[in-house]
Amino acid sequence: MNNFQNKIVWITGASSGIGEALSYQFAKEGAKLVLSARREMELQRVANATGLGADKVLVLPMDMLNFDVFPEKVKTVLEHFGQIDVVVQNAGITQRSLVKDTDFKVYRDIMELDFFSTVAFTQAILPHFSERKTGHFVAISSVAGKIGTPLRSGYCAAKHAMIAFFDSLRAEVWQENIQVTVICPGYINTPISLNALDGNGNVHGKMDKNQSRGMSAERCAEKIVKAVKANQKEVYIGGWYEVMGVYLKRYLPAVVYKLVLKVNAEK
């Protein structure tokens, strides 16, 4: 898809971070937007900031853990815009706790939001894409789905599962002209670490140094939109350190295993 003019782009996790930045970037590209997250006031703020008219943006609050409402939400979007062209699955949460200090429920909560919600949401939208013989899933995974690091075991596992799921989906639906792009950001300057879960399931509430020094969400969004335009299959976005790590893991895994041992993980 090399042109987003008047295309309907649905973004989850659109109230902050990468999702918010993508809202502005897709708006610049001429898309019509569906913005979803839990916080309606923040979604309305983002909608207003896009500069789009009321006829070109739909604020659709949605709790990604309430899987049962997904078919109803899809119906709402179709009644409003008539179609869906691109779905950006961006909602998620990370973690800051050692395995030995993490309640098992925390792992379940991370997997529910970061993995199972994306599966349920995909299944709700896929019939529409299949009927139209077109559509584009954009899955926001993470470099952490490629390289496991300390204090993020649940997050790394969920993002790894997300990559595998969408790789399989791509192999199943390509003949229906349905595209799948998996995005693996590295350190991006967003509030993700502030909202991370600790071992007890409480909010971490601290900004990681690496996160604060990371690529801007705006620059990340530009790269994501460019990748979607080019129908790229898997894209790594971030600084040279984390992106290079993905390639080292592929070709020189022993080197990465040693480097990870020296990671100064923040808690």
What residues does 137 pair with on adjacent strands? Answer: 87, 180
Cβ 220 vs Cβ 228: under 8 Å: no
Structure tokens given for 137: 């899933």
Annotated catalytic residue, options 24, 107, 155, 187: 155
Host H or E run for residue 263: none
Tokens coding 127: 């019939």
Rounded Cα distance, 228 and 183, in Å: 9
Q: What is the CA radius of gyration of the chain?
A: 18
Question: Annotated catalytic, 155?
Answer: yes
Q: How many residues does the chain have?
A: 267
CA atoms within 13 A of residue 35's CA, in its CB half-sphere: 33
H/E segment holding residue 87: strand 86-89
The catalytic residue positions are 155
